[in-house]
Structure 1
Amino acid sequence: MPTEGTGSPGHCDAVVELLGVDLRLNGPGVREDMEEFLLASGYQLGKTIGEGTYSKVKEAFSHKHRKKVAIKIIDKSASPEEFIQKFLPRELQIIERLDHKNIIHVYEVLESADGKIYLAMELAEDGDIFDYVAHRGPLPEHCAGALFCQLVEAIRYCHGCGVAHRDLKCENVLLQGHTVKLTDFSFAKQLPVGSRELSRTFCGSVAYAAPEVLQGVPHDSHKGDIWSLGVILYVLLCAQLPFDDTNIPQMLCQQQKGVSLPGHLGVSRTCQDLLKRLLEPDMVLRPSVERLSRHPWLARP
């Protein structure tokens, strides 16, 4: 499980592979209890639409809001103690503060007597950008840019509030029509604005993790988000991950060498320059989101 002060590649694997999906969320009696509790709260529970590290997400109809919503269900009795004591309170505190058009809005947080927490959230019915790219293949540069600019704005807002997401990946970037909606702040951390506080905690997915995170050295979580943005941009343009995450030592070597885009994609030099800056292996040289937002590729009409 995620632990402050640890961060070796072996630890990374343990975090990534610990799914935390408890079978007690699936039993018929439990489902009836959940349905009754949510119905009494104004939500008619529907199908499962996703699973997080320590949670499950279901579709529901909100009689209160008169529309479909997403309900994130967290069973505290089935989650590691550190997650309940540290990460969950952080998430709840952070999501109450965030208000941005490119971030999934949380309508309310409910807790039942049996220790389950329910987050009633905005529903992005068009899936995530991982599936979007999987169905369409590499996106034309202007299409990738339209999506990526919105994601950068979401991260710019988060970092401006002192929030590092720490689990940026294609599966956490949802679509509502053509609008990007960032979600899942399970491993987010609140930092004082302008703080240079470093972390050793590994959070998220190996494929999107910056070199310094994989190496377990003290790192700037905001700069880790920037690297993850680079991985996401690469996926949008190439429909594949930039690095093979099945062998972490080998992956670290690949990260140091950098990436190049296939010539047949016809990606502009300006875009390639941005990608190179995002996937800068030296954390100190990697740009902040403010500097990133002024890059010519993102500033174009």
Structure 2
Amino acid sequence: MEPTVYSLESALVDVAIDVPALPERGGDVVATGTRIHAGGGFNLASAVARQGVRCVHAAPIGVGQYGDVIRAALAAEGIPITALPRTHGDSGFAVALVEPDGERTFVTNAGVESALTPEDLTAIKPVAGDAVVVSGYDLAYPGSGPVLADWLTSLESGVLVALDPGPLVLEVPAYRWDRVAARLDLLTVNQREARLLSGSSASGAALLGAVPAAPGVLVVVREGADGCVATGGPLGSRVVTVPAPVVPAVDTTGAGDIHTGVLLARLVSGSSMDDALTAAVHAAAIAVQYPGSATAPRRDEMGQPEG
């Protein structure tokens, strides 16, 4: 079986609203555009698939209008769904307010994706050489969180376990975070999340070194227009800094998921860590130039050397 990335990141629908600026509390603003499309875990899964790597979406999907959007999007990318079919309840959605510089602010309404069950996981059996990725949203949910924590700690050695905590990084109960952190191979965070975890206001290598992680865990801090920095894991004490190309940012929604998806796809394909990090930054820089969240490029569109 070819190496596989199993995504436990729940998919939902993004309702993106372009605004000239965020309104003040109690105020209003006239939107300049809107889009509705699959988002959340779909951003990452589609990024993996577009690198030519097998991806399996293992989180629940609802049966209403939002679930239909997600299923259609996954089918178009050739990504199988393994969670048990739901008989009632829809998938959730996130309202994303996108400002002119591409920055986005979210309000999320969870759906059936927040209630993963042990039975949903019986259809997937990751083996050494595969990767499993989860989000902080799913660890924070009272339904999915305990199930994921139990399951992740049971995975065999050699399965790469990755966590992207996301905006809810401080909402994951400490005891649950500690259980999962002990099994992690990769922790990837943006600057805001790194600062929340560490209590540091630094940037670059100084911020990277402040992020708490177990020994041997690869820590990646995504720094937006400045690229990313990484250390730990196969890098040991070496710090890798990958600058991003200068591009006009239209919409940064999903850029972190795309970075993580491409990074995992390259790693399970055998790329070196340096090459995988460079490809991830390059893919995210391409993606932010287009409106929408699932804008990851295909491997042959990246102009990157194989490796």
Task: Give TM-score, length-normalised by structure 1.
Answer: 0.29
> What is the TM-score of this pair, normalised by structure 2?
0.29
Structure number with bigger Rg: 1
Greater helix fraction, Structure 1 or Structure 2 = 1
